[in-house]
Amino acid sequence: MTKSKKTNVKAHKLAANTKWFISNNRAQKNVDVINVIPFLKVWYSNRYFLETGVFTPAFGIAVSWLKWNYYFTIQKAY
């Protein structure tokens, strides 16, 4: 695991010197919706917007239950 000097974000090195980093890791409270049944969403996108204006692959999970949502996204740097 290495740390970027510019953004101070930890990135994992995988094969072929590609770096993946956590782009979203947050919990959010729903105001209008109450989910009685827990929902789990697993997704992958080949074109997810990166802060620098380019699109890179990303995958993540989202968990919703009662009035809470949790989002976790891992994105590939270029």
For the segment 14-61, what is each residue's pLDDT rounded down to a tens digit? Answer: 555 578 999 999 999 999 999 999 999 999 999 999 888 899 999 999
Q: Residue 53: what pLDDT?
A: 87
Alpha carbon distance 48, 50 (integer Å): 6
pTM: 0.70
For residues 20 and 12, the answer to whether their CB atoms sit within 8 Å is yes
Residue 28: domain span? 2-76
Q: Residue 17: what pLDDT?
A: 59
Domains identified in the chain, total number: 1
